[in-house]
Amino acid sequence: MEIQSDVKVKIRVNGTAVSATVQAGDSLLDFLRNQARATDVKCGCNQGDCGTCTVIYDGKAVKSCLVLAAQADGKEVRSLRGLMEDPLMQSLQNAFVECGAVQCGFCTPGMLVASWSLLQENSNPTRGEMRQGISGNLCRCTGYKKIIDAISLAAAQHVVTDGTANLADLADRLDGQAQAKANYLLLGGG
Amino acid sequence: MSITIGKGIPKVDAKHKVRGDTIYADDYSVPGMLYGKVLRSRYPAARILALRTARAEHLEGVYAVITAKDVPHNELTARFGQSTSVGVQFEGVYRVLADEEVRYFGEPIALVAAESPELAEQACEMIEVEYQPLEGIFDPMTAMEPGVRQVAEKQRNIASHFKIRKGNVEEAFAHADVIVEGTYQVPYQDHAYLEPESGVAWVDEDGTINIRVSSQVIEHFREVAEVLNLPHSRVRYLGTWIGGGFGGKEDITVESFLALLAWKTRRPVKLTYTRAESLLTHSKRHPFFMEYKTGATQDGRIVAVQARLISDAGSYSALSPWVLLYATVNAAGPYHVDNVWVDSYAVMTNTPITSAFRGFGAPQVNFAYESQMDELSRRLGIDPLELRQRNFLRQGDSLDTGWVYDRPVAISEAAEKAWYALGPKPAPANPQVAIGHGLGAGMCSYGRLTFLHDTSRSYIKLELDGSAVIRCGVPDLGGGQGHILCQIAAEELGLAIERIKLYITDSQLTPLAGTTTATRQLYMSGNATLKAARVLRTRMLEKASGMLGVPVEDLEVQPGKVLSKSQPEKSIGLVPLVNRMSTEGEELFVESQFNAPFTSIPANEVIEGQIHPDYTFGAYAVEVEVNRETGALRVPRIVACFDVGKALNPVIVEGQIEGGGIQGFGYALTEDMKIEKGIIQTPSFAEYLIPTAVDVPDLETILLESETGLGPYGAKGIGEPPMVSIAPALTNAIYDAVGVRITSLPATPEKILMGLLRHVEKEGG
Ligand code: FES
Ligand code: FES
């Protein structure tokens, strides 16, 4: 068996610096779950295939199981819990609840982070772009429709708070229930 | 007027899940915890000549190494909380650790508990296993041949065999105008829940083993107690919110291992499977090999169905007998057929365990009978919807077991709604692409086999401030199994949902509510909760009647109050009412039990009469685009229509249909589990491809509400049914587009292309 060498790291997790000794082969996900106790970051595969471990690392959404903890020394990481003060994340969380986008919930933290990152980059995506944006995040429960509905709703709500809402544009992007909710929000409800 | 029923009220658990606050099985840790690891077989079939553990035991930081000889009771009958003992033909075997032989690749042989996961793994590597490989039996056809070695030493290779003998098929085929025949194959499917199997166990000061685990069946505490030769009362399950189950967390997963390790070390132990371990070794959906023959009259009336079903029961029978029974009962589908002959076999092989998976035998036969319907519609030149409508089961018709179905059936309406929703075919985007429409209809039971005598219990207690507590041992897989109980209690008692505290899965403190399997929780635990709520409601109304001087019949419950219907100014708030009840010594709590219909155990292998409490009926209509040159497939539209009885929460119901439909989409098109000589070759999500967001369209859902179900308020079950009938809808659409009949799933582009090439050859020749 290979002898693993210990590495000392200091990583900012959700705004707090966490110092720890990790092994050279440990992933950022190992560090987050086992040392920083950020259990909102889930491990569905540990090999980059499922997206449940998605976090914001160095400003970008990444699968934390694919990053070495040692590499992350001195870097900044935000998981779902570290983004919850952000109004866009709050809109997403509310929309996921409202639209029924949460079943077992195991994909949800990673899905929320991926959705947040998608809307950061493109505040007005089409449903197709949304699908593309979360294509690295598997969900076995929902069939994705209600997740896309939720992202649409959050995007719409967010555009509204930005003051750049265009009703016709939004209606185009939303369908069914999400649309009804958006209308409601646009009319000043919720 | 309903308060909560029929409304898309957000699930109580969703709020915690979007904050990352839900503590799933692996998120939980206990101070001083050790880590478990399982040593698994490297052969699909071998004798174990020697097992040497001394080196591993001496490794520093290793606290326990356990092999079969250390397991007090290593082999037992797989039970699932049923109250009856149903006999060997209906029960599987559960073995904790391999003893003298291994029967499948990855079979557990030894357990280790150590200070770290790495150390536990290292210890596993230090255990020496001397194998004498045996010739494996990998295919059920071979296993059925006379003289072939038995896969299990004490069990025949044909683990179960059932028959349907309805009417006289021979005579009916002799008089049929057309007969279509086909052979169909359906593959393994992995549940691929995103949460791998996991749990933590510890032993209390009084010697009770607590197991905090992601399980669909907390009543396995009894089997785990038997494994350790302990009284049932000494094992307690603390079920977690489950990160997906779909039947894959129905059999015992990590629990016995955890209990054994915690018992031996007297330390808390955690065990979580890796994704590869999960994909390689947990149970799968049964592959089926099916021969079908269907006879009809010229005007499209089906007169006879004959089927031979062979299921690959894997290396331990687990739930194979029941799955086979479900398939047998579903073999003729949602059609009235006077003459049905079925022979079905579950056959053991040296392959992974096959057991429960959403649909439980129904999706397999559905693929076959709906492919036959499509063939028949082409042969007779009758529109696929029209042909089905001439044959659909109606109230008063009988199923293939001869059981007269005396409830309304909305299948005709469901198929029509789904089919018409597709509308006319659009023009193809380019000449290489052909567009096809396909229809699939089906049925699926809800509630368990009636001879299991299924029961569920639920408890409600009112608090003095108008809040309430519900205790009900229902494992929640994310389908709203727990939440809906709150909606029911709120409806009956005028409670605010956010003021209800729900306890769901403590096998010693929550009333036992049975398994979250078989699409049974809304039906069973929903009814138990409704029953409890109505007893409390009656107490409330009687008290209010005295207080207000209004007869009970004139009272109704509204949010937070009880009031007179004729004189609405006469009302009393929930809080003063409950306080008065308390002062006067009324019991503010109720525990109720709901019993499903009970039937007797089938006397022999010929299956007759009632087998399930009831069925859910529905249909899918899909549009596909097939590239004639490459076989590539795109699915722009999927429409589902189900009679759900009553959608107590339409958002949850749609979610079940969308998720089940897309899981069926994966089964039909993308999930290609490769297995060679008993060893799975696709042990990751990079190889075993479940649908991603870009693979699938928005699934369109149409809900029918006949209000004729056996669940609360006329609801039917909807957990499993959406898995049924999407696969044949897709393959029938492929046929419609390019004339290629897919008879073995998944319908990969390669298979479609092969079919297209065969056409070209034929035309060329
Ligand atoms: S755990 Fe990182 S992608 Fe699956
Ligand atoms: S909600 Fe279960 S995996 Fe997405």
Report, as ranges of residue numbers, the positions in chain B whose pLDDT lies below 50.
765
Whether residue A166 is predicted with pLDDT greater than 60 in this model: the reply is no
Decide: residue B371, CB within 10 A, 0-12 exposed, 13-18 middle, 19+ buried.
buried
User: Could you read off the pLDDT of A111-141 as tens digits, one per residue?
Assistant: 999 999 999 999 999 999 999 999 999 999 9
Confidence class for position A171, pLDDT limits 50, 70, 90 = low
The whole-number pLDDT of residue A184 equals 44
CA distance B570 to B340: 62
What is the percent of chain B with per-residue pLDDT over 90, rounded to a whole number? 96
Beta strands in B241-386 (DSSP E): 269-272, 288-296, 302-314, 339-348
Is the domain spanning A6-79 CATH 1.10.10.970? The answer is: no
The whole-number pLDDT of residue B698 equals 98
> Is there an atom of ligand 1 within 6 Å of A133 CB?
no
Q: What's the complex ipTM?
A: 0.97
The whole-number pLDDT of residue B47 equals 97
CATH tag, B288-391+403-449+602-764: 3.30.365.10
The whole-number pLDDT of residue A181 equals 53
The whole-number pLDDT of residue B760 equals 82
Whether residue A173 is predicted with pLDDT greater than 60 in this model: the reply is no
CA dihedral B328, B330, B336, B342 (to 10 degrees): -20
Using the structure block, give the residue that is written with the tokens 């007027």: B1
Nearest to B716 by CA among B610, B617, B612, B592: B617
Alpha-helical segments (H) within B102-254: 117-126, 140-144, 169-175, 221-227
Q: Are A23 and A2 in contact (CB under 8 A)?
A: no
Nearest to B305 by CA among B318, B315, B296: B296
Report the residue of chain A nearest B688, measured CA to CA.
A49
Q: Which of the ligands is closest to the CA of residue B24?
A: 2
From A45, A127, A139, residue closest to B685, measured CB to CB: A45
CA dihedral B54, B56, B62, B64 (to 10 degrees): -60
CA distance B487 to B719: 18
> Is there an atom of ligand 1 within 6 Å of A52 CB?
yes
Question: Which residues in chain B (429-468) have CB-CB distances under 8 A to chain A?
Answer: none
The whole-number pLDDT of residue B294 equals 98
The domain A84-189 is placed in CATH, from the list 1.10.150.120, 3.40.50.10680, 3.40.1380.10, 1.10.600.10, at: 1.10.150.120
Q: What SS3 string covers B452-473? A: HCCEEEEEEEECCCCCEEEECE
CA distance B596 to B586: 30
The whole-number pLDDT of residue A152 equals 97
Ligand 2, atom 3: nearest CA belongs to which residue?
Answer: A139
What mean pLDDT do residues A168-174 have? 53
The domain B455-595 is placed in CATH, from the list 3.40.190.10, 3.30.365.10, 3.20.20.60, 3.40.50.720, at: 3.30.365.10
CA distance B64 to B75: 21
Q: Are A42 and B122 a contacting pair at CB < 8 A? A: no
Q: How far is the CA of A116 from the centre of ligand 1 (A)?
A: 18
Nearest to B352 by CA among B281, B286, B247, B289: B281
Report the residue of chain A nearest B722, measured CA to CA.
A143
CA distance A50 to B478: 18
The whole-number pLDDT of residue A189 equals 37
User: Could you read off the pLDDT of B520-538 as tens digits, one per residue?
Assistant: 999 999 999 999 999 999 9
Counted across chains A and B, CB pairs separated by less than 8 A come out at 170
> In this structure, what are the phi and psi dihedrals at residue B35, rounded to the nearest 5 degrees?
-120, 135
The whole-number pLDDT of residue A131 equals 98
The whole-number pLDDT of residue A172 equals 54
Question: Beta strand pairing status for B92-95 and B75-78?
Answer: antiparallel
Report the residue of chain A nearest B190, measured CA to CA.
A140
Domain boundaries, chain A: 6-79, 84-189
Domain boundaries, chain B: 25-136+198-272, 288-391+403-449+602-764, 455-595
The whole-number pLDDT of residue B203 equals 98
Where is pLDDT greater, at B559 or A180?
B559
> Is there an atom of ligand 2 within 6 Å of B691 CB?
no
> Is there an atom of ligand 1 within 6 Å of A63 CB?
yes
Distances (CA, A) of B679 to B43, B247, B276, B683: 9, 22, 12, 10
DSSP type of residue B689: -
Same fold for the domain at B288-391+403-449+602-764 and the one at B455-595? yes
Instruction: Classify B25-136+198-272 by CATH class.
Output: alpha beta
